[in-house]
Amino acid sequence: MSEDDFDLFKQEMGGVKPIKQKKVAAPPNQQPPSEAQLARREAAVREEEVDNNRLSTEYVEMIGPHDLLEFKRPGVQDGVYRKLRLGKYDTEAVLDLHRKSMKEAREEVFDFINTCMAHHLRTVMILHGKGERSNPPALLKSCVNKWLPELSSVMAFHSAQKRHGGTGAVYVLLRKSDYEKTQNRIKHAKGRV
């Protein structure tokens, strides 16, 4: 700030006076908050801690430990789905859910898929186990089967080939990120010039 600017500021502020503030005191015999008030405050704080995870915690249709998982959104080419099903795509990331609770698995699946999308990954794998010894059998597998279609970034999935875990694992094909779509347009536009 130059000296001229400071002089101009002092001139403009010459007639300004501070605002007088009244001191506000608490009522003399204020009672501590009641249990109902404390409960309402706690509920309000809990509401602020909103769970962004949209994966269902409702009823899960149970499937068997050796059942195949398969899902394909409209628009996924048959050849792409066949290559996914046969394990012909390189797996770019793996999530292992063995020994996880349903709550932990729900959080990890949601975070895993979002992280993979943020890193522009397309083909990933989730190891959910067959659940032969769990009670009820195949609980995590059934949950994964329910959760994956709920995520819009999941285009398709299929149980893995035996060499990758068979019906205890699932290949997941993710939607192309906006970045990848742009890169493809640039790549294919070069040949048209």
Domains, the chain, ranges and CATH?
70-182 (3.30.1370.110)
CA distances from 12 to 5, 9, 16, 70 (A): 11, 5, 8, 73
Residue 166: closest CA among 135, 137, 131: 131
Report which of residues 136 and 160 the model is more confident about: 160
Residue 89: closest CA among 100, 76, 105: 76
Share of the chain above pLDDT 90, in %: 56
pLDDT at 99: 92
Tens digits of residue pLDDT in 165-192:
999 999 999 998 777 778 878 887 765 5
Rounded to the nearest angstrom, the gap between the alpha carbon of residue 82 and the centroid of all alpha carbons in its chain is 27
Q: Using CA atoms, how far apart are residues 75 and 109, in angstroms rounded to an integer?
A: 24
Tens digits of residue pLDDT in 36-76:
877 777 776 665 455 577 787 788 899 999 999 999 999 99
pLDDT at 107: 93
Q: Is the peptide bond before 136 cis (omega within 30 degrees of 0)?
A: yes
Q: Are the beta carbons of 74 and 152 closer than 8 angstroms?
A: no
Q: Average pLDDT, whole number, for the chain?
A: 87
